[in-house]
Chains A and B, each alone.
Chain A
Amino acid sequence: MRIFTCEPEWEAMLTCIFEAFESGLGHKNIKLLLEPVGQVSFLDEYVHVDADPSKADRLSEAIVRRISYEVYTEMAYTAMAFEEDVLDNIYHVLILGFHYGPEVLRMVKFADIMRNREIRARVVREAERFREILRFHRVGNVYIAHFEPRSRVVGYLGPIFSDRMPSEFFVIVDDIHREAVIHGKNEHFYIQKLTDVEFENLLHTEEENDKYTDLWKVFFDSVAIKERANEKCQRNHFPLWARKHAVEFMR
C-alpha cells in the first residue's frame, strides 16, 4: 500500500489529496496520513507530500465547481479535527462527493459519511466549549487570550469573536498548534502561524492582570451560595482541564 503523508495544514492536505487522486493507484491501495506518522510499517511505501499552492487551488476549485461550496467548507472544518483518520476520511468523502454531487454529506448510509459527521460534531463541540471558557487579558490596548485545544479550532473562533467584538483589537493564541487569530479594530480577522519569536513574545500575557481580573474573582466568589455548595456539580460542568486558563481559578 502507498501511504501519502503531509503536514497537518489545509494547503498541504489539499495537495496531498490531489497527489493521491493523480497517482492512479486505485483508492483501495492508498492511504493518507497526517505527520508525524505514528507507527511505520515496513510493508508500506511512504510518500511525503509538500504543500503546493497551485495544486491545492486546482483541487479546491474542482470541489467547489463539481460538488459544492458547502462541501468545501465542511471539509475545511473537518480538517481542523484532531483524529488519526481525518485526512483519509476527507479523501474518501471527496471520492463519494465527485460521484454523487452536492447531496453527499446527507448520505449517511456510507460509513465514511457517518464518520465525517462524527468528526465534525466533535470539532464543533470542542470549539463551542472555548466560546465559553476563553479568557482575554488586556495588554496595552489589545485583548489577548491563550487556549490549548486538541483540534485546530482557532479558525472557528475567529468569526465568533469578530461578531462579538467587531470594534476591538484582539488576539486568540492557540498554544498547541502555535497559530493565532488576529483581529484589528473594525477589520476582518486573519489567522497567522506564529514564529518562535512571536510565540515567545506572546507567552506571558496571562500574567498581565489588572483591576478587572481581580474584580472578576471577587464576583465569582461572592455570587456562589454557600448553602447550596456542590463542587461535584461544578466539576462536571467545568472540568479541571478547562481551568488552566480560566482566571477565576488562578490563585
Chain B
Amino acid sequence: MYDLSNNDPLKEKLTILSDAAKYDVACTSSGVSRGGREGFLGNSVAAGVCHAFTSDGRCISLLKILMTNHCIFDCKYCKNRASNDVPRATFTPEEICTLTIEFYKRNYIEGLFLSSGVIKSPDYTMERICETLRLLRTKYRFNGYIHVKAIPGASDELIYSAGLLADRISLNMELPTQESLRKLAPNKNMKNIIGPMNRISGTIAGHRVAVGKSARMERCGINKHLVNSIFGPGVDRIEGPEGDSSLFPAANPFLYPAEKNDALLRRPFAPAGQSTQMIIGATDETDLDLIRTTQALYQSFDLKRVFFSAYIPVNEDAALPDKTAPVPLLREHRLYQADWLIRYYGFVADEILTGDNPFLDYRVDPKCFWAINHLDRFPVEINTAPVDVLLRVPGIGPTSVKRIVSARRYGSINFEMLKRMHVVLKRARFFITCNGRMFERVPMDHRYILNQLADADRRDVYQITDRNNDFRQLNLFDDLKMERA
C-alpha cells in the first residue's frame, strides 16, 4: 500500500475508492469516435486507447473509481457491503472532476469510469453521480470518454440523465438468476436490473434512429456474412415471451430529463452502448447458463459487451465459496472465448455447449472443442469453402478469412500462403485441405486430435493458471488429471 503518512485526504480517498472499484473488469474506452472541440478538453477514439498496464496485466484506460464505498446494501460477495468493517470514503463532485481533468491532461487516461456504492437510496446516489457528470461536462468542459454505472432501483429520469452525460452506461447483472441474486444480493432483484436495461436499450435505439443510424449497434463486419449469427443480416431484437411482463416489461420511454434541453449538452444517449458484468464462480451456474444468458442479453438488449469477472473471495460467508478457493481465471478465459464465438464467429450458445456437457473444456478452447466434436464436417477445402464454414476452422479468425477470400480471387491458395496470412496451422492443420491435400497425414480420430490440440494450448493454459500460487497450479493439474506440467 502507498505511504499515506503525509495525510493528504485526497490521496487517502483515491486509495480507498480505486481499490474498491477495481473488481469491476470493464475498462475499455472504446465504441465511440468523437473529435475534439475548441474550448473543451478531450476527444474519443473508437478503438479505445490503453494508457498503462497494472501489475496484474490489465489495461488502464479510464480513471476507475467509486464515488463512495459507503453502501446500504449487503451483497455478500462485495467488499463494500454494509456489514463489512472497512475504511470508507466519499469523493465530492469537484474532486472527481479535478482528478479526471488533471489525469487526462497528463495523458494518463482516456476518461472516467464512475461507479458507486449506494448511499441513502438508489435515487440519492444516482442524483449525485449525475451532478458530478454534469459538472464535468459543463463547468470543466470535458469532452472525453465517460462510462457510468446505473444504480439498480434508481428512477428512470435519473438514468436517462446519466446516459445523456456519459458515453457508455452499464448495469451489472452480477448473477444470472433470480435465485442466485436472492442468495447473494438480497437487496437486488432481477426486475430492477432487467427493467432499466431494457429501457436503456430502447432509448439508445431511439437516439440512433433519430440521427439516421440503424437501431442496433454496429458489430464486427464479418457478421454480415453469417446467417446463423445472432448479429447476422435481418436479425431483429428478440422481445420477451408474451405475458411474461415481469422479465421483459414494455420499453416505456424515459421521462424527459433536464439535460435534454441544455444546449451545451446536445449529446446522444450512451453512444458507446450498454454493457454488463457477471461474476464467475460465486454461485453454481453452469457455463451453459452463463453463455445462454450472455446471448439473451445481446439479443434482447443489444448490449455492446458482457464482461465476466472471476470471483475473488474477499469475504467469509457460508453462502460463498471458501476464502481459500482458487480464483477461476481459466474458466473466465474460456468464457471470454465462448463470448467471442458468439460475437465474431456466428456461433449460438447451444452449439458451444449442451445440456449433458454444460461446462467449457479446460484443455482446449471452445472453438477447437466444437470442431473436434463435429469431425464429420471436416476437412474443408480452403479454396472453395464459404465464409461461415472457414470461420469455424480452429486457427482461422475473421481477419484471415478476409485475406483468404480476397486472395483466392486471383489464384489458388497453398499452405505456405496460409502461413503468411497468419493462419495458425498448429490448430488448423487437422481441419483443412488446400487443393485437396492435407497438411500432413493425420488420423481423423477424436482422441488423437484432442490430445494434439491440448498440447498446443498447454502453454496458454499454464500461463493463465501460473498467476497464482503453487497450491492453485497443483489443484488445476489434478483437475486435468495430468501427471506432469
- B18 CB–A CB distance under 8 Å: yes
Residue of chain A at shortest CB distance from B102: A212
Complex Cα spacing A223 to B11, Å: 13
- A196 CB–B CB distance under 8 Å: no
Which of B57, B107, B467 is close to A134, meaning CB atoms less than 8 Å apart?
B107
Known: A221-B1, A234-B57. 12 other contacts (CB 8 A): A218-B2, A219-B103, A220-B60, A224-B22, A224-B55, A225-B312, A227-B327, A227-B468, A228-B329, A234-B53, A234-B56, A247-B106
Complex Cα spacing A236 to B14, Å: 28
With a CB–CB cut-off of 8 A, which chain A residues contact B107?
A: 134-136, 145, 161
3 tightest A-B CB contacts, nearest first: A233-B57, A224-B54, A228-B56
- B38 CB–A CB distance under 8 Å: yes
Against A, the Cβ 8 Å flags (1 = close, 0 = not) of B24-67 are 00000000000111111111000001111111111110011000
Complex Cα spacing A224 to B38, Å: 35
With a CB–CB cut-off of 8 A, which chain B residues contact A57?
A: none
Number of A-B contacts (CB under 8 A): 145
A238 to B53, Cβ gap below 8 A? yes
A214 to B11, Cβ gap below 8 A? yes
- B7 CB–A CB distance under 8 Å: no
- B99 CB–A CB distance under 8 Å: yes
B14 to A219, Cβ gap below 8 A? yes
Complex Cα spacing A164 to B38, Å: 10
Within 8 A of A (CB), among B327-354: 327, 329
A219 to B467, Cβ gap below 8 A? no
Residue of chain B at shortest CB distance from A210: B102
Within 8 A of B (CB), among A202-224: 211-224
Complex Cα spacing A138 to B1, Å: 26
Complex Cα spacing A237 to B57, Å: 7
Most chain B CB within 10 A, of A145, A167, A231, is at A167
- A163 CB–B CB distance under 8 Å: yes
Complex Cα spacing A246 to B53, Å: 11
Against B, the Cβ 8 Å flags (1 = close, 0 = not) of A145-165 are 100000000000000011111
* 12 A-B pairs whose Cβ atoms sit less than 8 Å apart in the complex: A143-B105, A143-B106, A186-B39, A215-B102, A221-B1, A224-B58, A230-B56, A230-B57, A230-B467, A232-B466, A234-B56, A236-B57
A222 to B14, Cβ gap below 8 A? yes
B107 to chain A, nearest CB (A): 5
A215 to B11, Cβ gap below 8 A? yes
With contacts A131-B49, A228-B467, A231-B55 taken as known, whether A222 is within 8 angstroms of B15 at the C-beta atoms is: yes
Q: Interface extent on B, as a size class?
A: 35 or more
Residue of chain B at shortest CB distance from A163: B36
Which of A132, A168, A223, A227 is close to B54, meaning CB atoms less than 8 Å apart?
A223
A226 to chain B, nearest CB (A): 8
- B108 CB–A CB distance under 8 Å: yes
Which of A219, A224, A236 is close to B63, meaning CB atoms less than 8 Å apart?
A219
Complex Cα spacing A132 to B59, Å: 11
Against A, the Cβ 8 Å flags (1 = close, 0 = not) of B312-324 are 1000000000000
Q: Interface extent on A, as a size class?
A: 35 or more
A167 to B50, Cβ gap below 8 A? no
Within 8 A of A (CB), among B63-89: 63-64
- B10 CB–A CB distance under 8 Å: yes
Chain B residues in the interface with A (C-beta under 8 A): 1-2, 8, 10-11, 14-15, 18-19, 21-23, 35-43, 49-60, 63-64, 99, 102-103, 105-108, 310, 312, 327, 329, 463, 466-468
- A133 CB–B CB distance under 8 Å: yes
A119 to chain B, nearest CB (A): 19
Complex Cα spacing A216 to B2, Å: 11
A146 to chain B, nearest CB (A): 12
Which of B8, B14, B19, B38 is close to A166, meaning CB atoms less than 8 Å apart?
B38
- A248 CB–B CB distance under 8 Å: yes
Which of A166, A212, A224, A226 is close to B103, meaning CB atoms less than 8 Å apart?
A212
Residue of chain B at shortest CB distance from A230: B57
With a CB–CB cut-off of 8 A, which chain B residues contact A248?
A: 52
A213 to chain B, nearest CB (A): 8
B59 to A237, Cβ gap below 8 A? yes
B35 to A163, Cβ gap below 8 A? yes
Complex Cα spacing A229 to B8, Å: 28
With a CB–CB cut-off of 8 A, which chain B residues contact A138?
A: 105-106
Most chain B CB within 10 A, of A162, A221, A231, is at A221
With a CB–CB cut-off of 8 A, which chain B residues contact A132?
A: 49-51
B36 to A164, Cβ gap below 8 A? yes
A215 to B55, Cβ gap below 8 A? no
Complex Cα spacing A163 to B39, Å: 11
Complex Cα spacing A3 to B164, Å: 62
Residue of chain B at shortest CB distance from A134: B107
Complex Cα spacing A216 to B327, Å: 28
- A31 CB–B CB distance under 8 Å: no
- A137 CB–B CB distance under 8 Å: yes
With a CB–CB cut-off of 8 A, which chain B residues contact A215?
A: 10-11, 14, 99, 102-103
